[in-house]
A and B are shown apart, each in its own frame.
Chain A
Amino acid sequence: MISIPDLRVILIDDNEVDLLLHEKLVTIQQISRTVLAFNNANKALEFLSSNIALPKIPPTILLLDIQMPEMDGFEFLEAFDSYPFKIKSQCHIIMVSSSLDYRDISRTYANPMVIKLLKKPLLAEELKNTIMEIFKEF
C-alpha cells in the first residue's frame, strides 16, 4: 500500500493485454485508485496537455512502453519534454519494455526524464518498490 492520497497512474502501451495486466497490478498492490490507460502515446499527450487547466496537478506515475506504432516511447519523451514545468515536475516516468536491444536500453538510461527501466513481465514487488523509492522523501 502506497499512501500518496491523490497519486494517479497513467499507462501507455499499445498492447491491450499489458495495459490490463498493469492496471490489475496497480490495483492489487493498492498503489493508486486512479489508473488511466492509453493504447496510443498521442492520446496520453493530449490528456496531459489538457491538465494544464487544473489548479493543481496530482502526483503522477507514467508507465511508458518503448515500442509502439505511430509514436514510440522515445518520441513521447521528446514531445513531453516541451511541456510546462507545472506538469512535468509532477510526472514520474518509468519505462516498461520487453526489449533486449542494447540501443533501446542505453537510450532509456541516457534519458534524464526516465527514472527507471523495468522489464516485462512487470513484477508486482518491483513496481511497488520503484514507486516507493520515488516518493520516499514525501
Chain B
Amino acid sequence: MKDNRIRILYIDDEIHNLNAFKAGFRRSYEIYTANSAQEGKQLLKNIDVHIIIADQKMPVSTGVEFFNEIKETLPDPMRILLTGYTDVEDIIDAINKGHIYSYIKKPWDEHELHKTINNAFEIYQTRRQLKEKIVELEKINDELNRFIYSTSHDLRSPLMSVLGIINLSRLDNSVVDPNGYLEMIEVCILKLDGFIQKIIEYYRNSRLDVEYEKIDFNNLLQECIGSFKHQNTAIEFQVNVEQPVDFKGDTFRISVILNNLISNAVKYQKPDESNPKVNLTVKVEPHKATLYIVDNGIGILSEHLNNIFKMFFRSKNNNKPGSGIGLYIVKEALNKIGGTINVESKYGEGTQFEISIPNRNDFDS
C-alpha cells in the first residue's frame, strides 16, 4: 500500500451515502468508510489517512464534535465536513472548534468534491514536507553546533601544545635559535589562534540566548583595556563613564562589541603618531546607553566605509593583519541585542564609532 494514492476516511450514518461515495470515488482514492464517529475512531487507530470527511448530522456525536475530539491526537489529516443543511452556526463551529479545511453541501457535486480532496491533499503534503524540512534543519543546526565545538577544541589543542613546546624550549634553553625562528613560529600560532577564537565568538553570538544582567561600564571598559594595553603601551586611554542609572544588558555581546572595537582602535594606529589616543565615552540613560570609541589612528577610506561591516571585508589601505570578521561580529552582536552603530572616519586622522544599546532595566514609571 506504499503508493501515492490519497487515503480517505468517510464517516456517515447513512449507508447509502457511504456506498455512493465508494462507487463514485474508489477508482481515484483509497477509501475507508465508517457509519459512526465511534467506528471511525476505531478505524483511525490502524489506518493512517490523509483526509477525513464526516457528515455533520449523525446520532450520538456530530461531525464537528468528532473532529473536535480527534484534533489533539490526530492533528495531521485534513478535515472536510459534509452536511445537508446550511446552518451558519454549524459552519462557524466547525471552523473554530474542529479545525476543518472545507465545508461541502449535500448532495455533493462530484467534480467539486474531487477538487476539494485534491487541494486538501496538496496542503497535507506541503505541511508534511515542511515538518520534514524542520527536522532536517534542526539536525543540520545540531551538527554545526557539534562541528564548531569540536573545531574549537581539536584545532586549538595542538596549537596550544606547540606554544607549550616553545615556552619550554625557552625555559630549559635547549634550542639554539640565533635567528629567532621560534618567535616567528609563535607569532604565526597566535595569529591562527586569534582567528579560531573569532570563529568561536561569531558562533557563540549566533547561538547563545540573550541574557540581561547589570553592567558597570567602568569595570567592563577597564577589563577590555587591560587585555589590549600591552599591544601598544604608548596609547593613552581616556575613559569617561556617565552612569547615573543602572544599566542592564547582555554582558557577553556588549563585551564582544567593545573588545573588537577597542582592539581595532589599538591595532590601526599610525606608526609615526607621537601621541596615540583612544577615547572611550559612555553615557547611560534610562532607556539606552550611548558609547563612543574614538581614535586618532589611520582612519578608513570613505569609499570603504559602507563595506566595513561585511564579512571578510578588509580595507586594502592598511598593511595590518586582520581576519575581516571583527566588525562583522560587532554588527551581528548588535543585531542580537537591538543596538545600532554609526561610523565616522577621516582617512589619516582617525575613526569614531558611535553605538547605541537599549537599556533593559525596568524602571518603575
Quick one: given A21-B161, A120-B161, A121-B160, are A101 and B153 in contact (CB under 8 Å)? yes
User: Is B165 at the interface (CB under 8 A from chain A)?
Assistant: yes
Contact with A along B136-173 (1 / 0, CB 8 A): 00000000000001001100111111011101100110
Q: Are A98 and B200 in contact (CB under 8 A)?
A: no
- The answer to whether A67 touches B153 (Cβ under 8 A) is yes
B152 touches A28 (CB 8 A): no
- B residues less than 8 Å from A100 (CB atoms): 152, 156, 197, 200
A77 interfacial by beta-carbon distance below 8 Å: no
| Chain B residue, CB-CB nearest to A99 | B153
B57 at the A/B interface (Cβ < 8 Å)?
no
Q: How far is the CA of A28 from the CA of B172 in the complex (A)?
A: 8
Instruction: Please state if B164 and A121 are interface contacts (CB–CB under 8 Å).
Output: yes
A124 to B171 CA separation, bound complex (whole angstroms): 9
Indicate whether B204 reaches chain A with its CB closer than 8 angstroms: yes
Nearest chain B residue, comparing its CB with the CB of A102: B204
Given the complex, which residues of A lie within 8 Å of B158, measured CB to CB? 17
Report yes or no: B204 in contact with A121, Cβ–Cβ below 8 A: no
Q: Which of A84-98 contact B (CB under 8 A)?
A: 98
In this complex, how many residues of chain B approach chain A with their Cβ under 8 Å: the count is 19
Contacts of A122 in B (CB 8 A): 164
Q: How far is the CA of A73 from the CA of B43 in the complex (A)?
A: 54
Q: Which of A17-37 contact B (CB under 8 A)?
A: 17-18, 21, 24-25, 28
Which chain A positions have C-beta within 8 A of B161?
A: 15, 17-18, 21, 120-121
B150 nearest CB neighbor, chain A only: A67
In the complex, whether A1 has a CB less than 8 A from a CB of chain B is: no
List chain A residues, Cβ under 8 A from B153: 67, 98-99, 101
The CA of A101 and the CA of B155, in the complex, are separated in Å by: 13
Beta-carbon contact of A98 and B167 below 8 Å: no
Do A121 and B172 contact each other (CB < 8 Å), given the known contacts A18-B161, A98-B156?
no
Residue of B nearest to A27 (CB): B172
With A and B bound together, what is the CA distance between A102 and B207 in angstroms?
A: 12
Checking A17, A24, A101 against B149 with a beta-carbon cut-off of 8 angstroms, the contacting residue is: A101
Within 8 A of B (CB), among A57-105: 67, 98-102
CA distance A123 to B171 in the complex (A): 10
How far is A125 from B102 in the complex, measured between Cα atoms in Å? 76
Partner of B168, one of A15, A24, A67, A101: A24
Contact check, A120 vs B157: say whether CB atoms are below 8 A apart.
yes
Considering residues B153, B158, B164, B168, which has the most beta carbons from chain A within 10 angstroms of its beta carbon? B164
Q: Which residues of A contact B171 (CB under 8 A)?
A: 25, 28, 124
Q: How far is the CA of A99 from the CA of B197 in the complex (A)?
A: 11
Contacts of A98 in B (CB 8 A): 153, 156-157, 159-160
Interface flags for A5-18 (1: CB within 8 Å of B; 0: not) read 00000000001011
Q: Which of B160, B168, B197 contacts A120 (CB 8 A)?
A: B160
Which chain B residues lie closer than 8 Å to A24 at the CB level? Answer: 168, 172
Q: How far is the CA of A18 from the CA of B165 in the complex (A)?
A: 9
Query: Which residues of chain A are within 8 angstroms of B200 by Cβ–Cβ distance?
Result: 100
Question: In the bound complex, what is the Cα–Cα distance between A25 and B171 (angstroms)?
Answer: 9
Roughly how many angstroms separate A69 CA and B327 CA in the complex, as a whole number? Answer: 37
On whether A21 and B156 interact (CB within 8 A), knowing A28-B171, A28-B172, the answer reads no
User: Closest residue of chain A to B170, judged by CB?
Assistant: A124
Residue of A nearest to B166 (CB): A121
Q: Are A15 and B167 in contact (CB under 8 A)?
A: no
Closest 8 CB pairs of A and B: A121-B164, A120-B160, A98-B160, A121-B163, A21-B164, A17-B161, A98-B156, A98-B157
Chain A positions within 8 Å of B, measured between CB atoms, are 15, 17-18, 21, 24-25, 28, 67, 98-102, 119-124
Residues in chain B within 8 A of chain A (CB atoms) = 149, 152-153, 156-161, 163-165, 167-168, 171-172, 197, 200, 204
Jot down 8 A-B pairs with beta carbons below 8 A, ordered by A: A21-B168, A98-B153, A98-B157, A99-B153, A120-B157, A121-B161, A121-B167, A122-B164
